[in-house]
């Protein structure tokens, strides 16, 4: 590998984190058309990374501190992970000819853009590549439909889990929504990780559905992506599944709290997404459901799902 042959990008996070970085990745691809763009991200994201036209290669990197750059120094290392200092250190170890990052006081000799907490995640990384004099299109979030078949074509996908309890709407409320959707003749499936399977089973049982409606723990990322891409509607909280709906243009009803949708929500111009938020800001890593999220009542969510499905039918 020649010194100028590669652009190394660090984003060793989750599904939603990856998808919000797609416009910045595409800007880097356009800015360095002759170089190999290598993304350092978890191996578990490979099926999704392969859908991103900007990325040439995935360098399996489970988390910070585990980036192992295998070749000669890259032409450019890009910190799309965070503000540092761990992410900056990881990229400096690769000895890049140039480093693009936000600045951090632990690295006073490393130039960079000032970090701001008030930016949408898509805007944050587009601003960083623009700081490097590259043009970025914040609307370039769409991915091609995955190659595999959906395990439940045209179903309503309900994803009740989230990384932290603060972002999890109560299971009983999800059960009410699932019951209503099923009563209206929609096929409903519940998704989640293997650890969330019991949660999904409990909701299905409370809603009167059989275990065949529970896909939690039974789909890999490729199947989940195909499921969302072919769904009639996605209902979920502030999770990676919501970002999959944005990537594939699938209508969604998104329950936000405690993080404002202006920081992590879909583009306002994407009218197929209904974003519900009570206006309260809290701790997204909290151990109890956020008070603002709990202000979203069942009737409001039911009305949003009915409206979204009616609009979809009206538009064919």
Encode pLDDT of 227-255 as tens digits.
Answer: 999 999 999 999 999 999 999 999 999 99
- Block mean pLDDT (10 aa), the chain, length 316: 74 98 98 97 98 98 97 96 95 97 96 97 98 98 96 98 95 98 98 97 98 96 98 97 97 96 95 94 93 96 95 58
Question: What is the model's pLDDT at position 313?
Answer: 57
Does residue 215 sit within a domain? yes
- Output the 3-class SS for 271-299: CCEEEEECCCCCCCCCCCCCHHHHCCCHH
Encode pLDDT of 13-49 as tens digits.
Answer: 999 999 999 999 999 999 999 999 999 999 999 999 9
120 with 166, same domain: the answer is: no
158 with 298, same domain: the answer is: yes
276 with 222, same domain: the answer is: yes
* The two structure tokens encoding residue 313: 């039918």
174 with 222, same domain: the answer is: yes
Name the domain boundary from 80, 115, 130: 130
Does residue 140 sit within a domain? no
Question: What is the model's pLDDT at position 3?
Answer: 43
Encode pLDDT of 78-102 as tens digits.
Answer: 999 998 899 999 999 999 999 999 9
296 with 209, same domain: the answer is: yes
Q: How many domains does one find in the chain? A: 2
224 with 277, same domain: the answer is: yes
Does residue 19 sit within a domain? yes
Does residue 230 sit within a domain? yes
Boundaries of domain holding 85: 4-130
Does residue 147 sit within a domain? no
179 with 305, same domain: the answer is: yes
159 with 33, same domain: the answer is: no
Instruction: Please tell me the pTM assigned to this model.
Output: 0.95
159 with 299, same domain: the answer is: yes
Question: What is the model's pLDDT at position 1?
Answer: 36
Question: What is the model's pLDDT at position 2?
Answer: 41
Question: What is the model's pLDDT at position 5?
Answer: 86
Domain CATH for 158: 3.40.50.2000
196 with 300, same domain: the answer is: yes
Q: What percent of the chain has pLDDT over 70?
A: 97
Does residue 137 sit within a domain? no
Does residue 135 sit within a domain? no
Does residue 11 sit within a domain? yes
Give alpha helix (H) positions in 216-272: 221-229, 240-248, 261-264
Question: What is the model's pLDDT at position 310?
Answer: 87
173 with 100, same domain: the answer is: no
Question: What is the model's pLDDT at position 311?
Answer: 73
Q: How far apart are CA 270 and CA 252, in angstroms?
A: 10
Let me know if 193 is exposed, middle or buried by CB neighbors in 10 A (0-12, 13-18, 19+).
middle
Q: How far apart are CA 145 and CA 142, in angstroms?
A: 9
Average pLDDT, the chain: 95
Q: How far apart are CA 226 and CA 224, in angstroms?
A: 5
Q: How far apart are CA 131 and CA 147, in angstroms?
A: 35
121 with 158, same domain: the answer is: no
């Amino acid at each position: 590998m020649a010194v100028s042959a590669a652009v190394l990008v660090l984003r060793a996070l989750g599904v939603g984190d990856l998808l919000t970085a797609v416009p910045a990745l595409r800007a880097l691809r356009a800015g360095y058309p002759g170089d190999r763009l290598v993304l350092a991200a978890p191996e578990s994201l490979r099926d999704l990374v392969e859908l991103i036209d900007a990325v040439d290669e995935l360098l399996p990197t489970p988390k910070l501190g585990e980036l192992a750059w295998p070749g000669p120094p890259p032409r450019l290392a890009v910190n799309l992970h965070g503000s540092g200092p761990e992410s900056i250190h990881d990229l400096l170890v690769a000895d890049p000819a140039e480093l693009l990052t936000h600045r951090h006081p632990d690295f006073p000799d490393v130039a960079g853009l000032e970090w701001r907490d008030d930016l949408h995640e898509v805007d944050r990384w587009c601003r960083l590549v623009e700081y490097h004099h590259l043009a970025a299109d914040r609307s370039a979030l769409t991915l091609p439909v995955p190659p595999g078949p959906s395990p439940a074509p045209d179903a309503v996908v309900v994803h009740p889990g989230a990384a932290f309890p603060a972002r999890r709407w109560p299971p009983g409320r999800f059960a009410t929504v699932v019951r209503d959707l099923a009563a209206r003749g929609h096929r409903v499936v519940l998704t989640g990780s293997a650890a969330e399977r019991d949660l999904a089973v409990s909701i299905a049982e409370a809603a009167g559905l059989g275990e065949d409606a529970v896909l939690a723990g039974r789909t890999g990322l490729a199947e989940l992506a195909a499921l969302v891409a072919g769904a009639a509607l996605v209902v979920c909280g502030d999770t990676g599944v919501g970002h999959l709906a944005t990537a594939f243009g699938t209508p969604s009803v998104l329950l936000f709290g405690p993080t404002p949708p202006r920081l992590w929500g879909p583009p306002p111009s994407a009218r197929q997404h209904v974003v519900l938020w009570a206006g309260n800001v809290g701790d997204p890593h909290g151990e109890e459901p956020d008070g603002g999220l709990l202000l979203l009542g069942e009737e409001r969510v039911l009305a949003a799902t009915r409206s979204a499905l009616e609009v979809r039918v009206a538009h064919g």
